[in-house]
Amino acid sequence: MNISYDYTDLLNELKDDLHEGIIKPNDYIKIVRGDERNGYRPIIDFYYNDDDPEEEYEELTVATIVVEMDRYNKII
C-alpha cells in the first residue's frame, strides 16, 4: 500500500531555513510524529532550538527528514 502525506508547508519551511543557513543538512533536529496510519507515523512538527517538545520526539538529521518528507509528499 502506498501512503502519501502533505508535507508541502513543513518541507518548504525546512528548505527555506537550509537556504538561509539557519540549519545545515547534518544538523540534528527534533521531530514530533503523529499517530500511526497504515504503518507510518507522519512528521507533524519539528524543533531546532534547545527546548524539548512536550510531546514524544526523536532526533534525526535535517537531510534524513527532508528525504523522508520528499518521499511521502510525492507518493499517492
Dihedral sign, Cα of residue 13, residue 58, residue 39, residue 41: negative
CB 45 within 8 A of CB 12: no
Is the pLDDT at 24 greater than 60? The verdict is yes
Predicted TM-score (pTM) of the model is 0.86
State how far the Cα of 29 lies from the Cα of 25, in Å rounded to an integer.
10
Is the pLDDT at 38 greater than 60? The verdict is yes
Say what the alpha-carbon torsion angle 58, 41, 33, 9 is, to the nearest 10 degrees.
120
